[in-house]
Amino acid sequence: MNIGIVCYPTYGGSGVVATELGKALALRGHKVHFITYKQPARLDFFTENTFYHEVYVSNYPLFDFPPYETALISHLVDVVKFEKLDILHVHYAIPHASAAIMARQILATEGIHIPVITTLHGTDITLVGKDPSFEPVVRYSINQSDGVTSVSESLRQDTFTHIKVSRDIKVIPNFIDFTRFSKQDRGHFKKAIAPNDEKLIVHTSNFRKVKRIDDAVKVFAEIVKVMPAKLLLIGDGPERSNIEKLCRELHLCNNITFLGKQNQVEEILSVCDLFLMPSETESFGLAALEAMACELPVISSNAGGIPELNVSGETGYLCEVGDVKTMAEKAIYILSDEDRLLQFKAAALARAKQFDINEIVPVYEAYYKEVLEKCNQPAL
């Protein structure tokens, strides 16, 4: 099958999932064409059956803002025609779904029919999609797609509630590539970070308010009162300066390390003991899945799609959003007994294996075929 994938090329969840999916499809013999404005962060330069098509936006003085969506539409038309794509799989509703729908309409005037599948990832529905400036376009793009998937049942329900779409949505959860995210012996690395065998707590995000990183710091402040521990903060974003200020106010600077954005996040996760995800909402919780694949129990909020991943009392604990006290108590409970910690770690890994990429990618393949058959386009 000749597949076009449109995504954001950044470290965000939608871009990571789209890139890993494309790479996995390529390994299964499909030709995969990534169409975006920059080389995706997780895309290797030399991967068999993968191709990268850069969308270039001309910077004319007439435009106050570069017309990326228009450039993307034109590029999609060109790639579909020249590469003879069988299907377009776009990740994130705006602007990718709307651009793909317009490209499909242009191609139809030339007798070319290209099915469009849209995958919803979270804020394209829960944040952008609810904005009156975008909601009509989001709703139209979803309704006009030939197939729509969401990464969790929670997000599926949010789409029906907030966007009021009138079509079916198939839930296909996020996944993990265990060749990348696996527990490895990096004892020397852990010794450098925690020379006195401190417990290592970790959080990773894009440092936006919705991630409630201040809650993670406050939870850690309670943990460190009971046992030697260190907190590793992976990522960067608009809240970083506020979190740094909070660390100083709580006199925790010697116990907290800001690691910034990391390409090989699994190298850090694999030496840690516990993952914190106190988010106000998460469509799925991909960062938590990555941590669980490295045998980390998860203390998280009971929000969005997280309960579909984190099993309270087995792989970690679910707590109410903002309930720092309970989160800290559950974290201390897990960390204070080594046998109990090992039990939670084993359960986290076992749960993560249910989202193995080799289990999820065939679901996408079957859905592609279903959509192609519905559109009377035989799969190649």
Q: Compute the average pLDDT of residues 109-131.
A: 80
Kindly state whether residues 211 and 168 are assigned to the same domain: no
Please state which of the ranges 51-60, 63-72, 256-265 shows the lowest mean pLDDT.
Answer: 63-72
Q: What's 193's domain CATH number? A: 3.40.50.2000
Using one digit for the tens of pLDDT, what is the confidence trace for 136-165?
888 899 999 999 999 999 999 989 988 888
What's the pTM? Answer: 0.88
> Burial letters for 224-238: b for 16+ Cβ neighbours within 10 Å, e otherwise?
beeeebbbbbbbbee
Residues 220 and 108 in one domain: no
181 domain residue, yes or no: no
pLDDT averaged over every residue in the chain: 90
Give me the numbers of helices (H) and strands (E) for the chain, helices first please: 14, 13
Domain coverage including residue 263 = 187-353
Query: What confidence tens digit (pLDDT) does each residue in 154-204 have?
Result: 999 989 988 888 889 999 999 998 887 655 566 677 788 888 889 999 999
Asked whether residue 217 falls in the same domain as residue 86, the answer is no
The 10s digit of each residue's pLDDT in 21-47 is 999 999 999 999 999 988 877 777 677
Assess if residue 379 is contained within a domain: no
pLDDT: which is higher, 31 or 12: 31
Evaluate whether residue 201 is within a structural domain. Answer: yes
349 and 364 share a domain?
no
Least confident of 89-93, 134-138, 289-293, 309-313: 134-138
Q: Which residues pair with 76 in a beta bridge?
A: none
In this structure, the answer to whether residues 197 and 255 fall within a common structural domain is: yes
- Give the residues across from 319 on adjacent strands: 301
Location of structure tokens 């996040």: 265
And the tokens for 98?
A: 């709307």
Q: Give per-residue burial for 87-126: e unless 16+ CB within 10 Å, then b.
A: bbbbbbbbbbbbbbbbbbeebeeeeeebbbbbbbbbbbbb
- Let me know whether 157 and 219 are in one domain: no
Residues 192 and 279 in one domain: yes
Query: Total structural domains in the chain?
Result: 2
